[in-house]
Each structure stands twice: as C-alpha cells, then as structure tokens.
Structure 1
Amino acid sequence: MKNRKPWTALSGALALAVAACAPPNAQLVTTPQAPAPSARSAAPTEASLTETPFGPISPAGRKLLPIVQQTSLREITTSTWALQRSANPAVREAARTIITQHKDLETRDTDISTRMGLAVPTQPAPDMQIGIDRMRGESGEEFDRDYVNTLRKAHAEALILVSTVRADTRNTLVRPFADLAGDYIKTHINLLEQTGDVDYAQLPVPGP
C-alpha cells in the first residue's frame, strides 16, 4: 500500500506530459463515423432480382405494381365522389383526369402483372382504406380539402417510388409502365395544386 502513491503520481505526470506534447486538437478524440450510405447503396443486388421472360424485376418493381393497382382502386372511387360532391371546378377537372388515367394504369398494370405471374390486388391497402372510409362521410369544402391533400401527399410518395424503379429497372414491361405512371403522377400533382386546396406543410420533406 505504501508504494502505490509514487506510482500513481508518476502515472499522472506521464499523462500530463503526453497531453502537453500532443497537437492542440489531439485532445479532442472522437470515434470515427461510418461513411454515410450513398444513393446507390439501395440499388438491388443480383440475388434480389427475380427473373421473368421480360427481364429481371427488382423488389421495388414488384412493390410498384400492386401499389399502383391499389392506388387506382382508391383514386377512382374518391374521384368519382369528387365529381358528385365538389362545387370547385378545379377539383372536378382534377377528378375527371385522375379517373381516366387511373383506369388506363389499372388496365396496363393488370396485364403486366398477369403476364409475369404476379398477384393483382382487388382491394386498396388497409392504410388507403382509412382515407376512403373517412371521405365517405364528408361533403363540401371538408371533402375537397381531404380529397386534394390525401391524393397530393400520396402522389408525392408514389413519384419517389416510380422514379426509383425507372432508374434501375431491367424489365422491358416495367420500364415503359414506370415512364407512363410517372407522367400521369406529375399531371395529377399539377391539377391538384391548381385547386388551391393543397396544404404544402403536409407533404413529405425530402432527405438530405
């Protein structure tokens, strides 16, 4: 016990000496951070691709087809209500275009999915059904705001998925479908914004 104090003092002196000789910034030691993943890190790997007669399809492509089908089911239903209930000519114009173009997407989506042996949804996704059920009991300006903002937010999310699929797809059926879906989505976004009912604060914030 008597010998511990000198060694303790010596250890403390050595530590102070090392710190004093180090460069000014060397005392701020931080754990190196792992590099942020690049945008390409989410790209499909060869193992994740599913072979089809029309070229491989990625998980994102397999996700896109049922989501477009479910979205068409929701938006044809709610846009039909918009034609019946809204007094805003811009809302009615958006609804007419959305119905026509989603019927086209629905037909094309069913054909592509069937040719590749993929399941075709017959009902909207549960989260989409919540919005349908909510709008079922609305009317007037309340319906207009809910209809426009629900669809505008959904189109923002759909555009991100469509763009991701289009960027990497090797499938000859999915590629033109993604192109068309992207064009329709941008048309719908513009029409919904022209209604004057879009609350931009509800839209998803892009990541860095």
Structure 2
Amino acid sequence: MKSRKPWIALCGALALAVTACAPPNAQVVTAPQAPAVTGQAAAAAPTPLTEANLTQTPFGPISPAGKKLLTIVQQTSLREITTSTWALQRSADPAVQEAARVIITQHKDLEARDTDISTRMGLAIPSEPSPDMQAGIDRMRGEFGATFERDYVNTLRQGHAEALILVSTVRADTRNTLVRPFADLAGGYIKTHINLLEKTGDVDYAQLPVPGL
C-alpha cells in the first residue's frame, strides 16, 4: 500500500494557500437565528386580535376595546353629570362653572347615543359607575370650596386622559359603522373637556397617566 503522507502534505499546503489569499479580518458568516421566546417574554407578547375576539353585529364586528369604550363612556357620564352638577352649585370660579356646564351638556348627549348604540347592537351597558368612580363620587360628596374644586378638576382631567387613549385606540381600527362615528364624537368632546379643565389652573399634571409604548 502506498503511503498517504504526500497527499496529506499536499492538502495541507492547499489549505495554507487558501488562508493566505483570504482578505485580512475576514470572518465566517453564518445565518442568524431568531432567539427563542420563552418565559416572561413569551407571556408579555401581545395577543393578536382574531375573529374569535370579535362580537358580530348587524353593523359590523365590535372588538373588546369597542365594547369597553361603550362601557366606560356610560360609567363616566354617570359620574361626571353628578359631580359637574355639584360644581355648578359649589364653585364660584367662572372657569370651573364653564367646564361643568359644557361637561353636563355633552355627557348627556354621549349617554343618550351610547344607550341607543348599545341597544341596537344588543349589548348590555352598566347603569352605575364603576367602583373606583363611585369612590370618587362619594369622596367629593362631602367636599366644598377649593378642596372640592381641585378634586373635581383633577379627577375628571385624569379620567379624560385615560378615555382619550382608549377612544384613539378604538377609532384607529374599528370595523363597526356605529362605533366609528361615536368614537369620533367622543374624542372631540373629550378634547374640549380637557381644554376647559386645564383653563381652571387646578390641574396637577404629575397625576396624569403616561401611556406605554
């Protein structure tokens, strides 16, 4: 049997030659692999909206966010009509009174439209404020003067910030022909209320919610 040493030597020489011809700092490139999503990262991943998440209606499907908007607007209207009525009775500040008058008028409109839309789609809506909203009503019930004004303005301003985030989300992708114009109307009213509340000079901006990215 012939010795394989010459072939081994030749292969080694060829390998050295290829290495010598390679450009300096050359790197071996491998295909990138996507990192596995496990644990908390997997749990935090958003659940995509699917047909199973939607409730079908004669006016197009409504998402959970759309139903939440109808619920929140109804509950907020109940709170803000009540507390704004107190503001008209207890505050001598013209800016607070102006905000209260507009809020009462526009929330009565939203409440009526909300009830009509929900009825036409066969959706149940609450007849009472949420527990946290009721806690605010109960707190303000016993407040007067500047204490009431500050609490009233900041409670409503914070609530309107949260509502604006929700209504913008719903308006961005709703397929429902009743919810779409309702979200437009609610968004316009909310911005009006925010501006009026800020004109009172009582808003504590540090209390406002910061939306996540």
Query: Normalized against structure 2, the TM-score is what?
Result: 0.78
Paired residues, what number? Answer: 175
CA 1:161–1:81: 2 relative to 1, 3 Å:
same
- Residue 79 (structure 2) aligned to one of 68, 74, 99: 74
**Equivalent-residue separation in structure 1 for 2:146 and 2:183 (angstroms):** 33
Of 175, 196, 199, the residue aligned with 1:194 is 199
Q: Distance in 1 between the 2:114 and 2:209 partners? A: 26
Q: Quote how far apart the aligned CAs of 1:43 are.
A: 5.3
Partner of 1:90: 95
Query: Which of the residues 172, 179, 182 maps onto 1:174?
Result: 179
Q: 1:200 to 1:87 in 2, by over 3 A?
A: same
Larger radius of gyration: 2
Runs of 4+ in structure 1 deviating by more than 2 angstroms, as ranges, are 41-44
2:138 to 123, 133, 137: 133
1:154 & 1:44 partners in 2: Cα distance?
Answer: 26
1:121 matched to 2:126:
yes
- RMSD (Å), alpha carbons: 1.8
In structure 1, runs of 5+ residues without a counterpart are 1-31
3-state SS of the aligned residue for 1:75?
A: helix
| Residue 207 of structure 1, CA deviation | 2.3
Which amino acid in the other structure matches residue 137 of structure 2?
Answer: I
Q: How many percent of aligned residue pairs carry the same amino acid?
A: 83
Secondary structure, in 3 states, of the residue corresponding to 2:56? Answer: coil
User: Offset at 1:205?
Assistant: 1.8
Does residue 102 in structure 1 map to residue 116 in structure 2?
Answer: no
TM-score, normalized by length of structure 1? 0.80
Contact 1:70 1:125 in 2 (8 A): yes
Q: Structure 2, unaligned stretches of length 5 or more?
A: 1-34
